[in-house]
Each structure stands twice: as structure tokens, then as C-alpha cells.
Amino acid sequence: MPNPFYDRDIVSIRDFAKDDLEFVFDTTDSISRLKHSQRGELGKGRTLGYIFYEPSTRTRMSFEAAMASLGGSSIGISDLKSSSVEKGESLADTIRVIDLYSDVILLRHPLDGSSRFAAELSQNPIINAGSGSEEHPTQALLDLYTILKEKGKIDGLSVAIVGDLKYGRTVYSLLYGLANYKVEVHLVSPPTLRIRKESLYEIQDKLKIKEHSKLDEVLPETDVIYVTRIQRERFPDVQEYEKVKGTYTIDENTLAKSKSDIAVMHPLPRVDEISQSIDHTKNAIYFKQASYGKELRAALLALMLNENLSR
């Protein structure tokens, strides 16, 4: 099978069929097994150009580390404040210029559609590093890959997603990714932070979703619990925030009520929605998840840059 990702944009997780997902996961496995010296040839002399309209240290460093592991370089704008953009330059012009300076472009932008727009303008492939309120495709890919590595499968699992489901862009991308598998999804959030149902329109028939407001209801059956941060700013009332925060915190008590092999995930950074007291448990896989993320992103970059790479 030829490499379907050569020179291809990564704009939305919705563009990934199940075959695509498997191709990426297999390639990640292969890349991770390569010797340093072989791996270091895959990006040699190539440049990743990044533009962050919103700062995201995590995503930037993950991609920079991935690119470095392939022998390539990274240049870009991590801090919009000190860039030409402040002089009033359009997104289109910024994309067109970074396109001239790099071989693959990484874009984080607050608006929906920004990456699709950028992909139409640029000669080189675009990677969406988070756009608008619903798209963060490489996060979804690494989340799925983490589940696969830790659970050995995705089909047949019961996945709970907890926290701010209304504003968390990783949640929507993950759900679209999960729609390729036979999974049971439980969404747990305070009433004011429920998922926007209309955004799931395309996958409503593919995914079995149940909504909850109490975490305890779902724990006994859950294989994977995906926790997101709840931001104080979302609540008009601080007391309401404190109450919700308390009931959703994952700690030893939560684990005691769960399957013994429940996998606890988090896109990071974490504040206090997962207690540090469970960091040492085998259930805590949020740091492994970040590590899988670097490998998966290295695989994506290698695929985009090397036509003849086979999984």
C-alpha cells in the first residue's frame, strides 16, 4: 500500500477513515522501533514551520521534539505578540510566507476553518495544531493510539469523557475519532458544560453516547476515562465551580469505585482535576499519553515528508 499521507494536509480528524488511522498507528509502531541513526534520516534537511496564534507550549514542544528526532529543524512564531501579525498582516499572507520557509506547516488558530483555509493557500502540507472549538486532529490521533497501546484494542471498550465538554476542542476531535470504532461513550459534565449535540450530527448514528452529570454512575463499567480541565471562567458563580470541581476530581476514591484496570487519560496540562496522589498508579497513563504523542507526531511528519515510507 502506498503512503497516503505524503504531502497531505492534516486538517480534521473527520478526514481519517479507519484504514488511515491504522496506517498511522502502524507507522508509529515502526518509527518507534527504528534506530536513532535511521530515524534521523527521515527529516534531515527539512524544516517544520510553526505559527501559534494561541500559545500552546505542549503542542509546540511535542512537534519540535518529534521533528528533531527525525533529524529536522523547526522555526516559527510561538508568541504572536512579537510577530508581524501585530502589524496587521492577514492569516493568508502569514501562511504564504511561512510556506516559503518550510517543508511542512503547523498552525494553531482560534477560528474554525483556519487550517482548511491555510491548506488551500500553501504549497506545503498543513498540520492543524488546534483550531476553533472542535478540531485538534493530532491530539485525537494520539489519544486513540494511547488507548490502542494501553488496552490492546479500541473496539468493545467503554469510554467516559469528563469535564468541560462544551468548550474542550479535544473532546469533539476524540469523539469523531472514536466513531470509527465500536465503543460505548459516556459523557459526564455539569449541565452548563454539556456537549454541543449539533456538533456531533455526522456521527450520531455511529457512536453510542449517553450523557451523565454524576461521575459515580459510570465508573464501574468504564475502561478508559478521559478527563478535561474545567475552567473557573466558565461559571458565573464561583461556588458552583467549586462544587463541580470537587465531584469530578479523579483520586484514590474514584479508582476504588472503578475497574481495577481503568485507564485515566488527560490531554494536559492538568491543574487539579486529577489528584497527584494517583500519579504512581498503573491507571495513570496521562504522561505515557504525552510520550505516545511525540512518537505519533514523528510518524505523521515522516509520512508527510517521505513518499516511499511504508508502514
**Residues annotated catalytic, as ranges:** 58-59, 87, 108, 136
49 belongs to the binding site for a second copy (CB under 8 A): yes
91 belongs to the binding site for a second copy (CB under 8 A): no
* DSSP letter string, 42-105: TTTT-EEEEEESS--HHHHHHHHHHHHHTT-EEEEES-GGGSGGGGT--HHHHHHHHHHH-SEE
**17 vs 271, beta carbon nearer a second copy:** 271
By CB under 8 A, which span of 36-44, 131-139, 193-201, 235-243 interacts with a second copy?
Answer: 36-44
Say if CB 306 and CB 103 are below 8 A apart: no
By CB under 8 A, which span of 73-81, 156-164, 234-242, 246-254 interacts with a second copy?
Answer: 73-81
87 belongs to the binding site for a second copy (CB under 8 A): yes
- Give the amino acid at 40: G
**Using the rule CB under 8 A, which residue among 8, 22, 32, 40 binds a second copy?**
40
Q: Is residue 199 packed enough to be buried (19+ CB in 10 Å), middle (13-18) or exposed (0-12)?
A: middle
**Using the rule CB under 8 A, which residue among 8, 14, 39, 194 binds a second copy?**
39
For residue 283, give the C-alpha cell. 491507571
Question: Angle at the Cα of 18 (from 165 to 172), degrees rounded to 5?
Answer: 10
For residue 139, give the C-alpha cell. 491530539
98 belongs to the binding site for a second copy (CB under 8 A): yes
Radius of gyration in angstroms for the set of CA atoms belonging to the chain, rounded to a whole number: 19
**51 vs 207, beta carbon nearer a second copy:** 51
Reference 154, options 265, 242, 274; nearest CA is 265
**Using the rule CB under 8 A, which residue among 32, 133, 275, 291 binds a second copy?**
291
By CB under 8 A, which span of 86-94, 196-204, 216-224, 235-243 interacts with a second copy?
Answer: 86-94
**Using the rule CB under 8 A, which residue among 19, 26, 93, 240 binds a second copy?**
93
111 belongs to the binding site for a second copy (CB under 8 A): no
4 belongs to the binding site for a second copy (CB under 8 A): no
Q: How far apart are CA 132 and CA 121, in angstroms?
A: 19
Helices (H) and strands (E) in the chain, counts: 10, 9
Q: What is the DSSP letter of 8?
A: -
Interface residues for a second copy in 195-214 (CB under 8 A)? none
**Using the rule CB under 8 A, which residue among 3, 102, 131, 170 binds a second copy?**
102
Question: Angle at the Cα of 159 (from 154 to 264), degrees rounded to 5?
Answer: 95
Q: How far apart are CA 102 and CA 82, in angstroms?
A: 20
259 belongs to the binding site for a second copy (CB under 8 A): no
**Using the rule CB under 8 A, which residue among 57, 204, 253, 277 binds a second copy?**
57
Q: What are the residues binding a second copy (CB under 8 A)?
A: 36-37, 39-40, 44-45, 47, 49, 55-58, 61-62, 64-65, 68-69, 71, 73-79, 81-85, 87-90, 92-94, 96-98, 100-102, 229, 268-271, 276, 287, 290-291, 294
